[in-house]
């Protein structure tokens, strides 16, 4: 347990999040007075006049102290409140960085979308050198992460600007999977157990698409993404009806990119791929996660490496121009050797997109309950594995184009999408940077309405339970109507 006493501030959330970066499994308890502390670690974080400070005590003895003058905080032009907050959080970061063996390459940043900071600075005409210095001095990022953010932001801008409040992307959720993967916490149900509801789900989903079509008549569609779950887990006739409903409701000519997350190789065959191709899908995902059969079995995927390879070649033969492959670094039992094996196989396939996730130990996952049975790799090993991936992507001319971070991610790392030149997934960029409305249909799907003038989004979530979605479908439509008409 770590005791924390805040002095002249109330940044509980930010302080907790940053402490958890360095002390992953520790409970953080806030105390009001020193009388509530007796032994163990006590961190005092505060501000007196313009001086931010962090003092760390161990068993009542002061072991470290940092002071930062608010005037020295380099984060570009910002209001006093933000400067005060960053000074306080910087002092906490500097103290923990000194005391803990854990590395925090993302500095004081604990949010999901760090690229947004760079877009804001670019919008204000800061040049690269200034941005890098703000990221490194102000936000305490390691040099490689700062450069990664700038590279990613620059790649994205042509897909984001000019902002247009009449343009939107469409997300469609198919929340069915063949089996539950060990690490997964996404809202999805077993397609076998709920097969009796697949037709009704298709029907209700199409109704929702029809209604979204009606309320967006004066707007312009840009990209479509069918994700899940595993969209190809449902019969292809259902999937085809859903795709046709998209074309019936929205201007097909305007759709720049249409992705279907085929995901699990055990749900794809020649027939499904041909149906997707005939229906104008120009980007699919075939996700290995790993190319080691032992791990695939352990994480509960029903396919083998050979199935991934066979399906990939088949999809290429059928003619899909962009295929994405998802990988996860840090899967149980995997180290540098296993990553090298995976990359050797991926090299032969040479996909246009590669999305590299670092394992996140999610609360809702089976893994969280059984993680004690497995060895969780040290931060240095994860770093080494990610370095292998960095070298590999450079060699394969795959460039980073979108990035996000998650809570409970191993080693404080990140998820990065890589793409060959001009083959970035436009939907992923728009969805991550939140500069265009995304209208979302289906169970658990979250619409985000973007207001460019105020640069803010409004979240409009659909319900996360299958039965509730089927019963409350009219309410899901009404929720969106309120914001759009």
Q: Indicate which of ligand SAM, ligand SF4, none lies near residue 357 (CB less than 5 to 8 Å, by partner kind).
A: ligand SAM
Helix (H) or strand (E) holding 2: strand 2-7
Using the contact rule CB under 6 A, the part of the chain among 47-55, 182-190, 303-311, 317-325 near ligand SF4 is 182-190
The residue number whose beta carbon is nearest to ligand SAM equals 263
Residue 306 half-sphere exposure, CB side, CA atoms within 13 Å?
0
**Residue from 257, 261, 266, 433 that binds ligand SAM (CB under 6 A)?**
261
Choose among 195, 25, 17, 165: nearest CA to 92: 17
Among 326, 334, 338, 434, binds ligand SAM (CB under 6 A): 326
Q: Does 303 help bind ligand SF4 (rule: CB under 6 A)?
A: no
Q: Among residues 41, 328, 429, 476, which is the contact residue for ligand SAM, using CB under 6 A?
A: 328
Tell me if 383 sits within 8 A of 353, measured CB to CB: no
Cα separation, 173 vs 478, whole angstroms: 18
Can you read off the two tokens belonging to residue 197? 């509801």
Q: How many residues in the shown chain lie near ligand SF4 by CB under 6 A?
A: 11
Report if residue 480 touches ligand SAM, rule: CB under 6 A. no
Asked if 5 is part of the footprint of ligand SAM (rule: CB under 6 A), the reply reads: no
Q: Determine which residue in the list 119, 145, 204, 264 makes contact with ligand SAM, applying CB under 6 A.
A: 264
Q: Which does 216 bind (CB under 5 to 8 A by kind): ligand SF4, ligand SAM, none?
A: none
Q: Are 454 and 463 in contact (CB under 8 A)?
A: no
Question: Binding of ligand SAM at residue 398 (CB under 6 A)?
Answer: no
- Exactly one of 316, 362, 479, 483 binds ligand SAM (CB under 6 A); that residue is 362
**Distance between CA atoms of 207 and 188, rounded to whole angstroms?**
20
- Compute the CA torsion angle 3, 5, 9, 10 (nearest 10 deg): 40
Question: CA angle 264-339-403, nearest 5°?
Answer: 70
**Residue 326 binding target from ligand SAM, ligand SF4, none, CB below 5 to 8 Å by type:** ligand SAM
**Does the protein bind ligand SF4 through residue 331 (CB under 6 A)?**
no
Tell whether residue 442 is a contact of ligand SF4 (CB under 6 A): no
Nearer to ligand SF4, 215 or 446 (CB): 446
Contact present, 131 and 150 (Cβ < 8 Å): yes
291 scored as a contact of ligand SAM (CB under 6 A)? no
Instruction: Find the binder of ligand SAM among 19, 141, 359, 423 (CB under 6 A).
Output: 359
Work out whether 304 is an interface residue with ligand SAM (CB under 6 A).
Answer: no
Tell how strand 2-7 and strand 28-30 pair up: parallel
Residue 412 found at the interface with ligand SAM (CB under 6 A): no
Q: Tell me the sheet residues that pair with 409.
A: 360
**Are the C-beta atoms of residues 169 and 437 closer than 8 Å to each other?**
yes
Asked if 180 touches ligand SF4 (CB under 6 A), the answer is yes
Select from 46-54, 96-104, 224-232, 427-435 the region that touches ligand SAM (CB under 6 A).
224-232
Should residue 368 be labelled a site residue for ligand SF4 when binding is judged by CB under 6 A?
Answer: no
DSSP per-residue string spanning 119-163: HHHHHTT--HHHHHHIIIIIS---HHHHHHHHHHHHHHHHHHPSP
Structural contact between residues 153 and 118, judged by C-beta atoms closer than 8 angstroms: yes
> Per CB under 6 A, does 296 bind ligand SF4?
no
| Cβ-based neighbours of 265, under 8 Å, separated by 6 or more | 286, 287, 288, 303, 307, 308, 311
Contact stretch for ligand SF4 (CB under 6 A) within 81-89, 180-188, 240-248, 431-439: 180-188
Which of positions 214-233 make contact with ligand SF4 (CB under 6 A)?
228-230
What is d(CA 224, CA 259) in angstroms, rounded to the nearest whole number? 6
DSSP single-letter state for residue 76: S
Q: Which of 105, 263, 265, 400 binds ligand SF4 (CB under 6 A)?
A: 263
Which regions of 49-98 does DSSP assign to beta strands (E)? 51-58, 61-69
Residue 230 or 292: which CB sits closer to ligand SAM?
230
Q: What is the CA radius of gyration of the chain?
A: 24
CA angle (382, 384, 389) in 5-degree steps = 95
Q: Outline where DSSP puts E strands in 109-231.
A: 167-174, 176-177, 189-190, 220-228
Candidate residues 23, 30, 64, 186; the one interacting with ligand SF4 per rule CB under 6 A:
186
Which 166-195 residues touch ligand SAM, going by CB under 6 A? 183-184, 186
Chain residues binding ligand SF4 by CB under 6 A are 177, 180-181, 184, 186, 188, 228-230, 263-264
Chain residues binding ligand SAM by CB under 6 A are 183-184, 186, 228-230, 261, 263-264, 287, 289, 326, 328, 357, 359-360, 362, 365
């Amino acid at each position: 347990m770590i005791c924390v006493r805040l002095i002249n501030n109330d940044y509980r959330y930010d302080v907790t999040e940053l402490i958890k970066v360095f002390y992953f499994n520790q409970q953080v308890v806030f105390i009001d007075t020193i009388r509530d502390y007796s032994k163990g670690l006590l961190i005092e974080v505060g501000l007196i006049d313009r001086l931010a400070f962090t003092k760390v005590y161990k068993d009542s003895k002061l072991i470290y102290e940092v002071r930062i003058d608010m005037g020295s905080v380099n984060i570009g032009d910002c209001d006093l409140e933000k400067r005060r907050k960053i000074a306080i959080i910087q002092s906490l970061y500097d103290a923990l960085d000194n005391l803990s063996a854990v590395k925090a390459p993302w500095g004081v940043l604990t949010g999901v979308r760090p690229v947004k900071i760079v877009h804001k600075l670019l919008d204000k005409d800061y040049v690269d050198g200034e941005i890098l210095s703000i990221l490194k001095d102000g936000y305490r990022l390691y040099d490689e992460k700062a450069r990664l953010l700038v590279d990613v932001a620059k790649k994205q801008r042509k897909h984001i600007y000019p902002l247009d409040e009449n343009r939107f992307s469409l997300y469609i959720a198919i929340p069915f999977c063949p089996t539950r993967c060990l690490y997964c916490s996404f809202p999805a149900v077993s397609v076998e157990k709920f097969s009796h509801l697949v037709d009704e789900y298709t029907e209700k989903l199409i109704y929702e698409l029809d209604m979204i079509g009606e309320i967006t008549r004066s707007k312009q569609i840009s990209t479509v993404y069918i994700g899940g779950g595993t969209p190809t887990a449902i019969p292809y006739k259902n999937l085809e009806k859903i795709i046709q409903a998209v074309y019936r409701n929205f201007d097909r000519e305007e759709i720049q990119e249409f992705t279907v997350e085929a995901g699990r190789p055990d749900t794809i065959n020649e027939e499904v791929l041909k149906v997707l191709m005939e229906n104008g899908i120009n980007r699919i995902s075939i996700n290995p996660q790993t190319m080691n059969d032992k791990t695939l079995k352990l994480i509960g995927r029903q396919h083998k490496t050979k199935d991934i390879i066979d399906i990939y070649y088949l999809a290429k033969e059928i003619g899909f121009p962009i295929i994405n492959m998802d990988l996860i670094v840090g899967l149980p039992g995997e180290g540098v050797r296993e990553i090298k094996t995976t990359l050797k196989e991926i090299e032969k396939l040479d996909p246009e997109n590669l999305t590299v996730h670092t394992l996140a130990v999610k609360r809702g996952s089976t893994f969280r309950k059984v993680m004690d049975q497995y060895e969780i790799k040290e931060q240095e090993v994860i770093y080494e594995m990610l370095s292998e991936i960095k070298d590999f992507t450079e060699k394969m001319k795959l460039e980073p184009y979108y990035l996000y971070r998650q809570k409970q991610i191993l080693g404080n790392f990140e998820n990065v999408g890589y793409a060959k030149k001009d083959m970035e997934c436009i939907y992923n960029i728009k969805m991550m940077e939140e500069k265009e409305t995304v209208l979302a249909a289906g169970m658990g799907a979250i619409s985000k309405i973007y207001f460019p003038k105020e640069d803010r989004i409004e979240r409009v979530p659909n319900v996360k339970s299958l039965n509730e979605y089927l019963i409350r479908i009219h309410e899901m439509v009404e929720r969106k109507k309120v914001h759009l008409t």
